[in-house]
Amino acid sequence: MRTIVAGTHSLPLAGRRLSLTALRLGLAVPLVLSGAARLAAQWQPLPPADAVARATDSPFIAPDESPSVVDGPTDNDESWVHATPEQDSYGASSGIASYFVPAHGEPWTWQMLPSGLIYRSYLAGTKEPRVSSVWTSDDRQGAVWDVTLGARVGIIRYGTGTSVRPEGWQLDIEGAAMPRLDPSLESAPLVSTDYRFGIPLTYGYGRWQTKIGFYHISSHLGDEFMQLNPNFVRINYTRDSFVAGLGFFPTDNIRLYGEAGVAAVDGGAKPLEFQFGAEYSPVRRGGAPFAAVNGYIREDVDFGGNFVAQCGWQWRGGGPGHLLRVGFEYYNGKSDQFEFFNQYESRLGGGIWYDF
């Protein structure tokens, strides 16, 4: 029978060095991507604002027609903007066609249950609300199966009417259950589950997005795990956190972001937390490669934390918010199952993630 030891865990020197190296890499990657984007902008200056095509709901750029706008929705409630393959959605040369066009320049209106999100979940954030299933192998625990069942949706917006990188103010609601199972045992018993609920207020304009909000997260041991480990003492890990985040798109395909939070806590948690990361996720419809990194630093592990890197293939479907990804994931650092928050993990595997 396999057991997991929580509480104070002494990380070997090699593991501490690896974790520190991973976090330093996470800090360096956004800077490198930002520098590359600035260099690219010098060779591909943005056009005047009136040169940017205006889009309606769920717009795309198609590669094979001269610039024109089709008024009104099609049968599947999608409108199209046609442009040459050499221009991205801001008019800069990209060499790739079929791009979503941002909503910059559209009038702002009040909308209940708006389409799309202004500030989207971090691709490599393991505690973000979405639907996902990730299978990894840890050098201490063996096989690990992490699942997320949740979503984030818009409630009300004052802004543009598109779902393609909309502008304006938007109030969202989010929730997710994040169970961990042990696939090495019969019937894959439940080890633990983290539950998250939040209400973020977001704002976006041009290439910038911000959010402020509140979220609650609490961790619970699984009944089957407690039956298999009757001497294990659970903790009441809880965070009621106020957060502020900032995101920036130096290009249509790259997002850089950072987030800070302070919380009322229990069960070993401490108030401060920070996240940062970078994502490459092409906005064109159909398939394309993606890559993402995320660093998560927490006061409750002496401002250590974890580093996550993902890469693979993505598909964008009937709307720009419908993003399906399959690929590889590398995780290094303190556990993201908070019943074991002070336990070191180094995991490698693959998964499937769906944001809508």
The predicted-structure confidence for 9-29, as pLDDT tens digits, reads as follows: 444 444 444 444 444 444 444
Contact 145, 38 (CB under 8 A): no
State how far the Cα of 85 lies from the Cα of 281, in Å rounded to an integer. Answer: 18
Residue ranges of the chain with pLDDT lower than 50?
1-3, 5-100
Closest to 156 in 3D by CA, of 125, 111, 121, 115: 111
What is the predicted pLDDT for the residue at 104?
Answer: 62
Helices (H) and strands (E) in the chain, counts: 2, 16
End-to-end CA distance of the chain: 39
Q: What is the pLDDT of residue 291?
A: 98
Going from N- to C-terminal start, the domains of the chain cover 13-35+113-355
pLDDT of residue 319: 61
333 vs 341: CA distance, rounded Å: 10
Handedness of CA 63, 102, 252, 330 (dihedral sign): negative
CB atoms within 10 A of CB 233: 8
- DSSP for 167-195, written as a single string: -EEEEEEEEEEEEEE-TTSTT--EEEEEE
pLDDT score, position 96:
36
CA distance linking residue 138 with residue 27, whole number of Å: 24
| DSSP single-letter state for residue 318 | S
State the CATH class of domain 13-35+113-355.
mainly beta
Give the C-alpha separation, 89 to 105, whole Å.
Answer: 13
Q: Tell me the DSSP string of 251-278.
A: ETTEEEEEEEEEEEEETT--SEEEEEEE
Do the bridges between strand 254-266 and strand 190-205 make them parallel or antiparallel, or are there none, so unpaired? unpaired
| pLDDT recorded at residue 17 | 43
**Positive or negative torsion for Cα 16, 18, 20, 26:** negative
Q: What is the pLDDT of residue 340?
A: 95
Specify burial of residue 48 (Cβ count, 10 A radius: 0-12, 13-18, 19+): exposed
